[in-house]
Amino acid sequence: MARKSWTAIVAAGLFALTACGGGGGAGGGGAITLGFAQVGAESGWRTANTKSIQDSAKTAGIELKFSDAQQKQENQIAAIRSYIQQKVKVIAFSPVVESGWDTVLKEAKTANIPVILTDRAVDSPDKTLYKTFLGSDFVAEGKKAGEWLAKEFGSAAGDVSIVELQGTTGSAPANDRKKGFADVIASNPKFKVVASQTGEFTRAKGKEVMEAFLKSQPKIDVLYAHNDDMALGAIEAIEAAGKVPGKDIKIVSVDGVRDALQALADGKINHVVECNPLLGPQLMDLVKKVAAGEQVPPRIETTETEFDQAAAKAALPQRQY
């Protein structure tokens, strides 16, 4: 009897160790630990994205370690290194810029901790450094903005002067939204981008750069803003200059946050291309699959739409963010 129960105790002990082993990250209660390195808190989109991730982790019973890099790559790299030291089960992050990640991602791979990219992509040629990418097609978003402009101004008599507020320099959304838009407007020589500069995805910088555009450009017909926050900042500058946003200067923007849909409903913005920040539920499903060693698709794109004034008015009452 004694012999039998002793064997059972040893077996149970070994099982418990194994369950908590495998690259660490399964806390005492067996909860998966996820280390998430967020870009920052630069925009309404980012706030909604962070809330979606935090709420979904709670719902999924995943223990979330969360950091805000204040839009600095060195802070994100430091956060990822700390998650490696803490032996989390899975690491996820939204790379603030596309390049400079190979070294720290190789450290995660060496530590046998799988990585998931959300929202923004990296330009590393080594696809084994992360399990999957979950987010939007930013080139498609730029194309949608260009297609709206082509439709709106296709029959304009003379040149159409466009100013562009770019997102964070070197970031995937800035690079790809610029490319998608440029590819579409290249088809019509009267569409001219007369000024293009980063507004760092923030209202304050968007306002500041728009003020400079208004001083330097004799004629501005359209503003293309890579996100709503910069468009909303630009509206302040346009009004301060005594011009009417949405009329004197047409505005097309990307994201679809409440404040932008309200401005669209009020006629101050003319078109908004949606970029979906509510990635939390899909991310937690991926974390569980990756933690269990299951295969996941290499790229998962979110579904998103675009808004004209009528669609904005219809969407506002239920808009979550």
Find the binder of ligand GZL among 35, 146, 173, 233 (CB under 6 A). 173
What residues are paired with 115 via a beta bridge?
Answer: 91
Give the shortest CB-93-to-ligand GZL separation in angstroms: 12
Per CB under 6 A, does 201 bind ligand GZL? yes
Residue closer to ligand GZL (CB basis): 161 or 171: 171
Name the burial class of residue 189, with classes exposed (0-12), middle (13-18) and buried (19+) by CB atoms within 10 angstroms of its CB.
exposed
Per CB under 6 A, does 227 bind ligand GZL? yes
Per CB under 6 A, does 97 bind ligand GZL? no
Per CB under 6 A, does 147 bind ligand GZL? no
Residue closer to ligand GZL (CB basis): 135 or 245: 135
Per CB under 6 A, does 245 bind ligand GZL? no
**Tokens coding 14:** 């070994």
Residue closer to ligand GZL (CB basis): 89 or 120: 120
Give the shortest CB-85-to-ligand GZL separation in angstroms: 27
Name the burial class of residue 55, with classes exposed (0-12), middle (13-18) and buried (19+) by CB atoms within 10 angstroms of its CB.
middle
Find the binder of ligand GZL among 26, 36, 37, 42 (CB under 6 A). 42
User: Rule CB under 6 A: which of 274-313 touch ligand GZL?
Assistant: 275
Residue closer to ligand GZL (CB basis): 251 or 254: 254
Per CB under 6 A, does 45 bind ligand GZL? yes
Find the binder of ligand GZL among 26, 46, 263, 271 (CB under 6 A). 46
Give the shortest CB-62-to-ligand GZL separation in angstroms: 22
Residue closer to ligand GZL (CB basis): 185 or 230: 230
Pairwise CA distance, residues 283 & 58, whole Å: 12
Per CB under 6 A, does 268 bind ligand GZL? no
Per CB under 6 A, does 255 bind ligand GZL? yes
Interface stretch with ligand GZL, choices 38-46, 50-58, 124-132, 284-292 (CB under 6 A):
38-46
SS (H, E, C) the chain: CHHHHHHHHHHHHHHHHHHHCCCCCECCCCCEEEEEEECCCCCHHHHHHHHHHHHHHHHHCCEEEEEECCCCHHHHHHHHHHHHHCCCCEEEECCCCCCCCHHHHHHHHHCCCCEEEECCCCCCCCHHHCCEEEECCHHHHHHHHHHHHHHHHCCCCCCEEEEEEECCCCCHHHHHHHHHHHHHHCCCCCEEEEEEEECCCCHHHHHHHHHHHHHHCCCCCEEEECCHHHHHHHHHHHHHCCCCECCCEEEEEEECCHHHHHHHHCCCCCEEEECCCCCHHHHHHHHHHHHCCCCCCCEEECCCCEECHHHHHHHHHHCCC
Residue closer to ligand GZL (CB basis): 64 or 254: 254
Residue closer to ligand GZL (CB basis): 26 or 272: 272
Per CB under 6 A, does 119 bind ligand GZL? yes
Give the shortest CB-201-to-ligand GZL separation in angstroms: 4
Contacts with ligand GZL by CB under 6 A lie at 42-43, 45-46, 119-120, 135-136, 173, 201, 227, 229, 254-255, 275
